[in-house]
Amino acid sequence: MTGSIEVSAKPSALERFFTLRVGGMLARNTVVSTAALLLGLAVLWALVEYGGMDEVLATAVSFLVAQTLHYLLGRTWVFRGTDRTFGTGYAIFLLNAGMGLVITVSLFALLVEYTPMHFLVARVIVSIFAGLAMFVVNATFNFRRV
């Protein structure tokens, strides 16, 4: 009697995200994202209040500072083991961050325009969706860990 060998199919992209390992990366990414946001806000405030810098320029500088921290912690703690080179990964990360900014501003504008939602509540909701989208893009395409 011949036995049959069962071959397991490769998990789908969606199935690869629903693992404990990826859940751990998402939890670490949430901590890093929150820290980066708080640092960015602090840098923005300091540049405007103490440095006398223009608010728009200070926003750009604080965004780069926050995203740089996010990248460094993401590379070393969230997405450990990436084989992407540092410079290429940083460039891709900044492009992804720009995409996240577009998502954030667009969804925020829609929510405050078409719902009675308070703008701060809208900002938190939008940050959850934008943050998840950026996590997926970075986990799969930039750091290639999922």
Q: How far apart are CA 128 and CA 100, in angstroms?
A: 11
pLDDT value of position 4: 62
For the chain, state the CA radius of gyration: 19
pLDDT value of position 89: 96
The one-letter amino acid code at 17 reads F
pLDDT value of position 3: 61
**Can you give the pTM of this predicted structure?**
0.82
Mean pLDDT by 10 residues, the chain (146 residues): 65 86 96 93 93 90 94 96 94 94 90 92 88 94 93
CB 77 within 8 A of CB 32: yes
Q: How far apart are CA 102 and CA 108, in angstroms?
A: 10
Tell how far CA 43 is from the center of its chain. Answer: 19
